[in-house]
Structures are given as C-alpha cells and as structure tokens.
Amino acid sequence: MNERRKHESGDEATGRRPRASSLEITEQAMSELSEQMAALVADYFARLPGLPVFPDTSAQQVSESLSRELPIEGTAVEQIVDDCRAIINASRHNGHPRFFGYVASPSTPVAAYADLLSSALNANVTSWRSAPAATEIEKTVVRWLSTLIGYGADARGLLTSGGSLANLNALLIAHRSRAHAEASRRGLWGETRMTLYASDQIHMSIPKAADVLGLGRDQLRLVKTDARFRLDVRDLRLSIEADTLQGLKPFCVVGSAGTVNTGAVDPLSEIARICEEHDLWFHVDGAYGALGSLDERKRSLFDGIARADSVSLDPHKWLYAPVDCGCLLFRDAAKAQRAFATNDADYIKVHEEATDESFAFWDYGLELSRRFRALKIWMMLKYYGARRVRAAISEDNDLAAYLAECIDAAEDFELLAPVELSICCFRYVPPDIRQKLMDTDDAGERARLYAELDALNARIMHSVQRGGRAYLSNVTLNGSYGLRACIVNFRTTRDDILETLEIVRTAARAINEE
C-alpha cells in the first residue's frame, strides 16, 4: 500500500484512522445540495428579466422574512433553498435588463460558476508557494486585461477587491517613488508638502486614498473641467506651475478613463505630456471606463493610456464578472515592490531559488489574504472569447447613444452631458416649465423654475427606483440635478431603453397629479 492509500485508509499498525469530521457530508448529500442549488441559480437567471429590479419591501419586512435565530441543529436542504429564494426576492437585481443605477455589470453564468470553483478551492493567493496554479492564472489574466485595453502585454500588476483598493495601491506607489527615502509617511518631501492633481469629476476613491496616505485636503488639487466634463489641461498646467513656484512638490496626476458621473475620458495624451515634462507619476483611473476601449470605435478616446505609469480597471464593473474583482496595472515592478517593502515575518519568508516560484503578491499590494479572483475572468474569456465580449461592450455603448438620441428627439427630456461611453445623463422637463424658461429673462424666476425641476427629478428618481420596473441613479452637473443611466448589461435591449423613458414619464405624471 502506498503512502497516500495508507493515509486515506488509516495505518493498521498504529490504529490511527482519518478524523471523523462533524462537517463532512456524504456523496448523496453533496449530490442533493449541488443539484438543488444549481437548479435555484438556473431558475434565477431564467426569471431575472421578469423580477422587480428593486423589491417592494422594507428593512423590517426583509428582517422578518429571514430567520435571525442561531440554529443549534442543522436545517434541511429544502428549507435552506427556500430561504435562499427569499433572499433572492428581497434583493436588488443588477443583472436586470433595466438596472441602470450604478457601474455594476451583471455576472455571466460562466463567471458565476467559476466563482463557485474558486470558493471550493479556497486558495489564499498570497504567493506562488501558497497557490501555484492561481498565481499563474492571475499573471495570465493581468496580461490579458492589459492587452485588451491597449496598455500592452509587458505590463505587470495584480487583482484587487475593486477600483478603490487599486487606486490606493497606485497612489502609494506613486508617492513612494517620488518621495525621498527618509520622507515621513505624512505626505512630505523632506520638509516640503507633496501635491496630487485630479479633476473635479474624479471618483471619491481618490480623495479617500489621499486621506489614507496622510495627504491633507490642501494637498489634493481638484482641477476644473471643460464643457465635456474632461480635465482642463491648461488649468492643470497652471496649478502645477503655481505650486512649484510656492515650493511645493507635485508628485502625481490622476486622469480618468471614463468618469462615473458622465463617462467622460480625460485627454490622456496631453496629461501624459505634462507629467513627462514635470517628472510626475501618471495614474489613470479606468475602474469604470478603461474596458470601454474594447469597442474599437472608442479606442481613440483612450490615446495616451499606454503612457501611464499605472492604470486601474474593474472587471466587475464592465466585464460581466462577479464582485469582487478590480485590477491594478503598472509599468515598473521594481518601484511597486519598493513601495511595499517590509521586514517580512519569518513565517512568510520565501526560500524558493527559482525567480518565478519566489513570487509573492504581497510585494506589490496591500492585501495579504487574497481570493482566487482571476479564475472567473480566465474562465469567462476562455468560454466566450474576446470577440464576443467586445461585442457586448460595444452594444452597451450603442444603447447609451440610442438613449441620448431618444432624449434629444423628445419634448419632455433634456440631455445634461455628451455621451462618450455607456453613461447617459438627462432630466425630465415638463413642457410648461420648458416654455416658462424660454419666456422669462428674470434671473429670480429662472432660479425658481430650475429649483422646481431639481425637486421634480429627485422625486422621479425615487419613484422609479422603488417602483421596481427600472432603476436609475442621480447626478448633479453644473448645479443641475439629473437622472443617470449607466448601461453595462449584456441583457439590455432598445425596448428596455424605450420602456424606461415611459416609466419616467409615468412617474412624472403621477407626481403631477398628487
């Protein structure tokens, strides 16, 4: 009997037997659990388009529908499946074809099953020795993602929980790469304060990251934007030059490859040129929009992204992957490694002699415990191929453009921003208010009418969200409150766009009749 069989059957000479675990289940029980849960998931995907986007419920009702008592003894699988159905019914469904609220794409069935396998393996992807296959898959996926967005196959990087952590990692690398070795961890260049630049449309994760890094509010410069809500490069240049003259130390510029408000893509090539002139780190926050470059018609918007020192992107935002799955790409692995250098605890020291086998993700990011996030991206791209994924993203962009066309052609809607990718911002404007705005030159009256419009659209948004037939979010642009539709869903059709506009009109009429 070989050693493995001895271990599995026990050693008769010593009397040892494998541990009788209270948590192991029989093959029959495993089969029953697998069949019922797989059927539940298949049923969910089949019913999804007909479910309410948002449940008609309250926090109290949700709490009462789910058991809150700690079970002392096990529960039958049938009851657990029923409870899971209750969870589904009390959920908001971002996979619904008329969910346009946030940048949250639905999961493909393939990626969902990949996540199941990942959880079954339960690999802690800290280093190659902890998870050999998962580490190699992640390296492959990072290279694939970099190639897809035009950043190049030679980039390095790692997967993160999302764009917020990717951006925090990037700014830490940027700060350490530009700070003196003896600089304190409070955003200082010796005795000089270091400054960071981003547009006034930047995602909230950038100010948060700056705060975590110890940069004061006066060290983050929010640069104004142009009429298309893109970073104004002239204002950026003036701000950098003014800070330099005052003895401050500019160290990084963050450009957006698709803002979350409007989908605007900053002029990346021009920002890259300024960063090169002033020796600044150039980070591109592409958490939402970078994957929009898979649409070949949009690729020119992203000119200059290959010149960035680092780029963040989120497959769970627009690559139809389950959360959590963000990514950080960077050019200089040595600078990234220096930023995270520590006196390693003895138990995590790597003693492998081969370079590839001594690789550790903790050398390039903040996380130590890390899920096998790469499997869902790897499996999805293997199953569908890049061409089909490109087609889905291109169709999302087409639908946003179609929504904008419908709004432009309507007498009761108004477009609030140009549509560059898959986000469309607009508001409902009743014909009588539109006419009053056209007829008056009185500033006070116009302000009153615009305030009335803001209040009306806020009520419309809440009514649409809780109505369950569609889901929009809100946006404020140039002081105007509007409705925002973000289309990152492979299930959405033109009929869903038209139906959503009618849902908005219905909500407006109901409010007007109150």
Across the chain, what does the average pLDDT equal?
91
Residue 196 pairs in a beta bridge with 220, 252
Is 253 in contact with 233 (CB distance < 8 Å)?
no
Closest among 428, 429, 407 to 418, alpha carbons compared: 407
Q: Sign of the CA dihedral 195, 200, 201, 205? A: positive
Parallel, antiparallel or unpaired: strands 156-160 and 326-330: antiparallel
pLDDT of 349 higher than 90: no
Q: Which two tokens stand for residue 126?
A: 């800290």
Q: Which residue has the higher pLDDT, 105 or 20?
A: 105
- Note the pLDDT tens digit of each residue in 478-493: 999 999 999 999 999 9
Q: Tell me whether domains 116-343+353-384 and 388-513 share a fold.
A: no
Q: Which range among 134-138, 337-341, 400-404, 470-474 shows the weakest confidence by mean pLDDT?
A: 337-341
Position 23 scores a pLDDT of 87
Q: Is the pTM of this model over 0.85?
A: yes
Give the whole-number percent of the chain exceeding pLDDT 90: 81
- Give the residue-averaged pLDDT of 333-351: 72
Quote the radius of gyration of the chain (alpha carbons, Å): 26
Position 17 scores a pLDDT of 65
| Angle (deg, nearest 10), helices 163-178 and 205-212 | 50
Position 14 scores a pLDDT of 54
Q: Which residue has the higher pLDDT, 74 or 421?
A: 421
pLDDT of 135 higher than 70: yes
Position 345 scores a pLDDT of 55
- Give the residue-averaged pLDDT of 189-198: 80
Annotated domain spans of the chain: 116-343+353-384, 388-513
Give CA separation, 361 vs 129, 168, 270, 341, in Å.
11, 16, 33, 12
**In whole angstroms, what is the distance from residue 299 CA to residue 290 CA?**
10
Position 209 scores a pLDDT of 95
- Note the pLDDT tens digit of each residue in 25-37: 999 999 999 999 9
Is 399 in contact with 422 (CB distance < 8 Å)?
yes
**In whole angstroms, what is the distance from residue 433 CA to residue 447 CA?**
12
Encode 59-95: b = buried (16+ Cβ within 10 Å), e = exposed: eeeeeeeeeeeeeeeeeeeeeeeeeeeeebebebbbb
**In whole angstroms, what is the distance from residue 445 CA to residue 337 CA?**
59
pLDDT of 6 higher than 70: no
Q: Which two tokens stand for residue 19?
A: 């541990």
pLDDT of 251 higher than 80: yes
- Give the residue-averaged pLDDT of 122-130: 94
Position 180 scores a pLDDT of 65
pLDDT of 305 higher than 50: yes
pLDDT of 163 higher than 80: yes
Position 344 scores a pLDDT of 58
What single string gives the DSSP state of each residue in 238-292?
HHHHHHHHTT-EEEEEEEEBS-TTT--B--HHHHHHHHHHHT-EEEEEETTTGGG
pLDDT of 170 higher than 80: yes
pLDDT of 350 higher than 60: no
Number of CB atoms found within 10 A of residue 294's CB? 22
Is 283 in contact with 276 (CB distance < 8 Å)?
no
| 61 — pLDDT class (breaks 50, 70, 90) | confident
Is 375 in contact with 114 (CB distance < 8 Å)?
yes
pLDDT of 106 higher than 90: yes
Position 191 scores a pLDDT of 55
Number of CB atoms found within 10 A of residue 429's CB? 19
Query: Top-level CATH class of 116-343+353-384?
Result: alpha beta
Task: Tell the burial category of 486 from Cβ atoms under 10 Å away from its Cβ (0-12, 13-18, 19+).
Answer: buried
Give CA separation, 104 vs 113, 138, 288, 430, in Å.
18, 22, 9, 31
Position 8 scores a pLDDT of 44
CA torsion, points 167, 173, 178, 183, in degrees to nearest 10? 110
Q: What angle do CA 390, 392, 393 make, to 5 degrees?
A: 65
Four-way CATH pick for 388-513: 1.10.3720.10, 3.50.30.40, 3.90.1150.170, 3.40.50.300? 3.90.1150.170
- Note the pLDDT tens digit of each residue in 11-25: 555 556 666 778 899
**In whole angstroms, what is the distance from residue 463 CA to residue 457 CA?**
10
Show Cβ contacts of residue 52 under 8 Å, excluding neighbours closer than 6 positions: 93, 468, 469
- In what helix (H) or strand (E) does residue 178 lie, and over which residues does it extend? helix 163-178
What single string gives the DSSP state of each residue in 299-317?
GGGGTTGGG-SEEEE-HHH
Position 18 scores a pLDDT of 64
Position 292 scores a pLDDT of 97
